[in-house]
């Protein structure tokens, strides 16, 4: 009022006074009901959002049993009942006020959120757009009397006593009944029911220690009992495996992931002292769960369940890291199957960046992505080497300094490879660099004595070179056995790698597909894909050992002019490109001279080729795999020189091909992600011949 009076007194004319009075009246406080409906538009998108908020409240209330009932896909009714702590009469009324919560006390708590909910907006938002009933009784209250609060469209109608068990039951009927515009945008009952089912699946996987019951239209969809959860890593994996088996069946071939790591926190600029390598709990992170074995994939990301501190999230960085970990093990357009839990200090992740809390942001995003990628990669490598077992012994510890995970501009970050515990180092040989290497003149024709092979030394095919695998770079993850590895409680029988069982050569079909027999059934091998994988790993080892790819100078060098941003990035990558056979040199402030290319590289337009190089290096990520561009060149090279269809191979040559494939790190796919081996079990054959049903 003082401001308004001052404006009226200073206005020279009555007309201007009326103008200022009208201008001030344009801004007004919204009624509480309207404000709650606006907030509901951000938090409550569909019936699944109501289920999500109520289930999260039940979990925060330490519930061990949660029952969800819906009618008409959630349009008619959403009821969530739990046996949690419950609320007193005063708390039951106060929880319907906006920003009333028991989970946050001050601003500092927002930077260390460990609960599922924290804003205090869910209940008033739901109550403002539905016919809402809250019935609750405190668990520790000796009185059998419960409190029931009835709210319709944000208006409090009645508060009364009722009889109810300990815990809380919340009903939301006729969702969006007072907002017809929102209600008409809801999808069909089947679609809304599917969204509810999807969230409850995530909640059940994240909390095996809680019993979940889901009922829709008086029909029980699932009823999951409490899984016994121990405090150690083995108990957690046991409970998760049991919950996965209850929801998805026991036919999934899964590999255990359990990797721990430490990282160096970034120093706060306000701190006078420089940061140092920390070993405090807030610099720890752990990735555990299950991923699909080689050959298990889907056409979409529907079976990728990612959790951060038990919270189901969507994060493009983690999705990218998961696919990167499967690099060359998946075909294009296929996605891994995974149920993974990332645990780290709550202060290192921000969950308050999305209205529905679906997305999170990491303070050290690059370090987290590199850690996840390496953990997935090591798990797949250990699977073939024999170190992968579905027991607690699969746990490993890693070190990942954040400030060092990006290589210097003149260095190449090499991915560290994990071998089995009995693996022997490859015999170092002197790399040869002939001008025209003989990539594949002929396969060896002498038989193998150790089949299946037990040593990991890979005898290179006569390609003109071989390389010793270098020691792991200090910037990468270095798994070592964890203290938990002393536990040997089996979680389930691990899938035995196909190449870990004896195989007998039967014959060749179509001069391409090699027929093999194992004690488990029939095995088909693509001789071209298998040889591609062998040559690919041999050439990649040579690059990792410090060698350089072949290069062919251009008859007429071409100049390429780039933007200032691309110039700065490309200047740092010149040593890497030189090792990959791409001859680029600075030819001015923003101009580069393209002088040499790898063999078989066709460049119709020099500028486009260089831009594609820049994009490829940026997308690969400096801290993930700086040799990605080299892998692309190698893939094209080995595809030309591997044995083709209709290339006749004798029996000993085929046996040696299988033996060399056994010694590969990732033998089950070619560099393009296509399978090298396909197995058909005896049970499948019996089904096809009608011997069993």
Q: For residue 269, what are its two tokens?
A: 């600029």
Instruction: Determine which of 3-17, 148-162, 413-427, 551-565 has the lowest per-residue pLDDT on average.
Output: 413-427
Predicted local confidence at residue 534, as pLDDT: 92
pLDDT 10s digits, 576-597: 788 777 888 998 888 999 888 8
Please tell me which residue, 478 or 340, carries the higher pLDDT value: 340
Residues 303-330, mean pLDDT to the nearest whole number = 90
C-alpha distances in angstroms, 566 versus 543, 616, 618, 620? 25, 12, 10, 15
Q: How confident is the model at residue 544 (pLDDT cuts 50, 70, 90)?
A: confident
Q: How confident is the model at residue 442 (pLDDT cuts 50, 70, 90)?
A: very low
In degrees and rounded to multiples of 5, residue 70 shows phi and psi of -135, 150
pLDDT 10s digits, 15-38: 555 555 555 578 888 887 777 777
C-alpha distances in angstroms, 531 versus 121, 522, 600? 59, 20, 19
Is residue 515 pLDDT above 90, yes or no? yes
- Which residue's structure tokens are 């809402």? 132
Residues 292-314, mean pLDDT to the nearest whole number = 90
Residues 51-67, mean pLDDT to the nearest whole number = 95
Predicted local confidence at residue 473, as pLDDT: 38
In degrees and rounded to multiples of 5, residue 171 shows phi and psi of -115, 135
At residue 322's C-alpha, the angle toward residues 321 and 326, to 5°, is 110
Provide the percentage of residues in the chain whose pLDDT is more than 70. 74
Is residue 90 pLDDT above 90, yes or no? yes
Predicted local confidence at residue 91, as pLDDT: 93
Phi-psi region of 459 (alpha: psi -120 to 50; beta: other; left: phi over 0): beta
Instruction: Identify the three-state secondary structure at position 560.
Output: strand
Residues 526-550, mean pLDDT to the nearest whole number = 82
Where does 32-224 sit in CATH, by number? Answer: 3.30.565.10
C-alpha distances in angstroms, 238 versus 30, 175, 235, 553? 52, 39, 5, 58
Is residue 547 pLDDT above 80, yes or no? no
Instruction: Identify the three-state secondary structure at position 426.
Output: coil
Predicted local confidence at residue 67, as pLDDT: 97
C-alpha distances in angstroms, 104 versus 115, 116, 361? 9, 11, 20
C-alpha distances in angstroms, 59 versus 44, 67, 356? 19, 12, 17
Predicted local confidence at residue 417, as pLDDT: 36
DSSP state of 297: E
DSSP of 266-282: PPPTT-SSPP----SGG
pLDDT 10s digits, 97-125: 888 888 887 877 777 888 888 878 889 99
Distance, CA of 228 to CA of 6 (rounded, Å):
70
Instruction: Determine which of 414-418, 546-550, 582-586, 615-619 has the lowest per-residue pLDDT on average.
Output: 414-418
Residues 661-676, mean pLDDT to the nearest whole number = 89
* pTM greater than the 0.85 cutoff: no
- Which residue's structure tokens are 């083995």? 234
Range picked from 540-549, 551-560, 625-634 for highest mean pLDDT: 551-560
Residues 498-524, mean pLDDT to the nearest whole number = 91
Arch. (CATH architecture) of 233-265+281-404: 2-Layer Sandwich (3.30)
Domain assignments of the chain as residue spans, ordered by start: 32-224, 233-265+281-404, 437-468+497-693
Q: Which residues does 681 contact at the CB level (< 8 Å), separation at least 6?
A: 520, 521
Residues 339-346, mean pLDDT to the nearest whole number = 93
Please tell me which residue, 504 or 573, carries the higher pLDDT value: 504
Q: In terms of Cα–Cα distance, which of 222, 225, 213 is closest to 69?
A: 213
Distance, CA of 45 to CA of 42 (rounded, Å):
7
Predicted local confidence at residue 600, as pLDDT: 59
Distance, CA of 12 to CA of 9 (rounded, Å):
8
pLDDT 10s digits, 384-398: 776 554 433 333 334
526 forms beta bridges with 513
pLDDT 10s digits, 215-259: 999 999 999 999 877 778 888 999 999 999 988 877 778 899 999
Predicted local confidence at residue 570, as pLDDT: 85
Q: For residue 45, what are its two tokens?
A: 């998108």
DSSP state of 582: -
Where does 437-468+497-693 sit in CATH, by number? Answer: 3.30.1540.20
Distance, CA of 415 to CA of 381 (rounded, Å):
12
CB 533 within 8 A of CB 676: yes
Range picked from 230-234, 261-265, 418-422, 501-505 for highest mean pLDDT: 501-505
Predicted local confidence at residue 601, as pLDDT: 64
| Mean of all residue pLDDT scores within the chain | 77
Q: How confident is the model at residue 469 (pLDDT cuts 50, 70, 90)?
A: very low
Q: What is the dihedral of CA 678, 684, 690, 693, to 10 degrees?
A: -150
Distance, CA of 243 to CA of 221 (rounded, Å):
15
Q: What is the dihedral of CA 149, 152, 153, 155, to 10 degrees?
A: -60
Predicted local confidence at residue 364, as pLDDT: 87
Distance, CA of 235 to CA of 239 (rounded, Å):
6
Residues 39-43, mean pLDDT to the nearest whole number = 74
pLDDT 10s digits, 450-467: 333 433 344 443 333 333
Predicted local confidence at residue 619, as pLDDT: 66
Please tell me which residue, 609 or 89, carries the higher pLDDT value: 89
């Amino acid at each position: 009022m003082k401001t308004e009076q001052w404006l009226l007194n200073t206005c020279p004319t009555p007309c201007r006074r009326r103008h200022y009075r009208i201008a001030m009246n344009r801004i007004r406080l919204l009624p509480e009901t309207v404000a709650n409906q606006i907030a509901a538009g951000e938090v409550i998108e569909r019936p699944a959002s109501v289920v999500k908020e109520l289930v999260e409240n039940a979990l925060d209330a330490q519930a061990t049993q949660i029952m969800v009932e819906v009618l008409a896909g959630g349009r008619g009714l959403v009821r969530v009942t739990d046996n949690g702590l419950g609320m007193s009469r005063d708390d039951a009324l106060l929880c319907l006020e906006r920003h009333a919560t028991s989970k946050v006390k001050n601003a500092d708590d927002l930077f260390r959120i460990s609960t599922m909910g924290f804003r205090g907006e869910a209940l008033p938002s739901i109550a403002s757009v539905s016919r809402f009933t809250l019935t609750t009784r405190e668990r520790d209250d000796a009185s059998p009397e419960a409190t029931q609060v009835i709210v319709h469209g944000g208006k409090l109608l009645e508060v009364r006593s009722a009889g109810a068990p300990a815990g809380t039951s919340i009903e939301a009927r006729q969702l969006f009944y007072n907002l017809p515009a929102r209600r008409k945008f809801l999808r069909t009952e089947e679609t809304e029911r599917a969204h509810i089912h999807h969230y409850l699946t995530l909640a059940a996987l994240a909390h095996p220690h809680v019993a979940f019951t889901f009922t829709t239209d008086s029909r029980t969809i699932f009823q999951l009992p409490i899984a016994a959860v121990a405090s150690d890593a083995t108990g957690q994996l046991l409970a998760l495996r049991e919950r996965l088996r209850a929801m998805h069946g026991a036919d999934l071939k899964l590999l255990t992931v359990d990797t721990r790591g430490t990282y160096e926190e970034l120093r706060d600029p306000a701190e006078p002292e420089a940061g140092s390598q920390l070993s405090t709990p807030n610099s720890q992170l752990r990735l555990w769960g299950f991923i699909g074995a080689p050959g298990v994939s889907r056409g979409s990301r529907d079976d990728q369940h990612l959790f951060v501190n038990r919270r189901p999230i969507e994060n493009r960085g983690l999705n990218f890291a998961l696919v990167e970990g499967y690099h060359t093990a998946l075909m294009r357009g296929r996605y891994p199957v995974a149920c993974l839990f990332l645990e780290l200090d709550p202060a290192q992740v921000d969950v308050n960046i999305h209205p529905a809390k679906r997305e999170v942001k990491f303070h050290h995003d690059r370090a987290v992505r590199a850690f996840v990628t390496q953990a997935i990669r090591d798990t797949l490598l250990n699977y073939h080497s024999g170190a992968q077992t579905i027991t607690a012994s699969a746990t490993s510890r890693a070190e990942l300094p954040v400030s060092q995970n990006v290589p210097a501009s003149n260095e190449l970050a090499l991915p560290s490879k994990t071998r089995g515990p009995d693996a022997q180092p490859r015999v170092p040989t002197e790399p040869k660099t002939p001008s025209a290497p003989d990539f594949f003149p002929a396969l060896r024709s002498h038989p193998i004595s150790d089949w299946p092979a037990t040593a990991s030394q890979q005898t290179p095919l006569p390609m003109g070179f071989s390389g010793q695998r270098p020691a792991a770079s200090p910037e990468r993850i270095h798994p070592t056995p964890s203290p938990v590895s002393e536990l040997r409680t089996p979680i389930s029988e691990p899938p035995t790698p196909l190449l870990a069982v004896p195989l007998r050569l039967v014959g060749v079909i179509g001069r391409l597909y090699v027929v093999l027999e194992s004690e488990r059934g029939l095995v088909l091998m693509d001789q071209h894909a298998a040889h591609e994988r062998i040559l690919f790993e041999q050439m990649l080892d040579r690059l990792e050992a410090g060698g350089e790819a072949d290069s062919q100078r251009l008859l007429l060098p071409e100049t390429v002019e780039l933007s200032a941003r691309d110039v700065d990035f490309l200047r740092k990558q010149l040593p890497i490109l030189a090792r990959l056979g791409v001859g680029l040199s600075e030819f001015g402030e923003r101009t580069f001279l393209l002088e040499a290319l790898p063999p078989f590289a066709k460049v119709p337009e020099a500028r486009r080729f260089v831009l594609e190089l820049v994009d490829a290096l940026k997308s690969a990520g400096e801290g993930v795999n700086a040799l990605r561009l080299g892998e692309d060149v190698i893939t094209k090279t080995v595809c030309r020189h591997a044995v083709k269809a209709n290339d006749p191979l004798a029996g000993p040559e085929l046996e040696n091909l299988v033996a060399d494939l056994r010694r590969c790190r990732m033998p089950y796919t070619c560099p393009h992600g296509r399978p090298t081996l396909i197995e058909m079990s005896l049970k499948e054959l019996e089904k096809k011949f009608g011997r069993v049903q």
